[in-house]
A = this chain, B = another copy of it.
Amino acid sequence: MQTSPKPKLLIFDVNGTLLNMDGIKTAINQAYQHPGAFTQWFSWLLQYSLVDTVTKTYHPFSEIAEAALQMTAASLKVNVDAVFMQDILKSMQQLPPHPDILTGLDLLKKAGYKMVTLTNSASAAQKKQLEFAQLNAYFEETFSVDAVELYKPHPKTYQYVLDELNFDPQETMLIAAHGWDVAGAARAGLQTAFIARDGQALYPLAKKPEFVCADLHELAVQLAAL
């Protein structure tokens, strides 16, 4: 069995991985009067970010998020106030961290890992997100796909971070709670860790991640022991 080298750089996904979207889920399912409305919205948000990517068109993540809110209302045949949609977009910038994040990041920082973020959110939106969640101190740099105008999991999004920091993919680990993100990072040559958050699933047709953990604290304990 081939063993992977200890990673030197950890790249964190933000929405859903570091930050908790449960409040938005409850609000959307209630306003749209359907227990699958949030999932439909977020799936379409991700699908249409890739529709834009393959058609060489770029819109900021929050614009696609708003479009997907409108589409979800149309598809479920409910009237949803435009003010509610604006409130959802604002609350995307005021997400709390998951409860395991602070102790997990503390452990990893003490273990000496270099840590950065890479998110589908636009740079300005990510800045507000990390400030609100008070997570800035943990990350040496923060990256957004808006620099390359391609959405994750396009391989150029990961390569862009590696190029900026002068790291090789095999000494880097992408940490995310989304099957598509770890699938894409693995196909770009990175090591990966999957945080198995509620409602998430690995993509069975992609390479298995180096780590699958229930939360970041559990992963941090294992990475700190390497």
Contact = CB atoms under 8 A, between A and B. Distances in A.
Interface stretch (A90-98, A126-134, A195-203): A195-203
A54 B201 contact: no
Contact of A53 (B54, B201, B204): B54
A21 to B, nearest CB: 14
Nearest to A154: B54
Contact of A46 (B47, B74, B153): B47
Q: How many of these chains are in the complex?
A: 2
Contact of A199 (B48, B75, B184, B204): B75
A55 B155 contact: yes
Nearest to A72: B201
A30 interface: no
Given A47-B180, A54-B53, A55-B183, A74 B36 contact: no
A109 interface: no
A179 to B, nearest CB: 7
A187 interface: yes
Interface stretch (A7-15, A59-67, A100-108, A161-169): A59-67
Contacts of A74: 201-202
Contact of A34 (B35, B43, B75): B35
A48 B204 CA distance: 11
A38 to B, nearest CB: 9
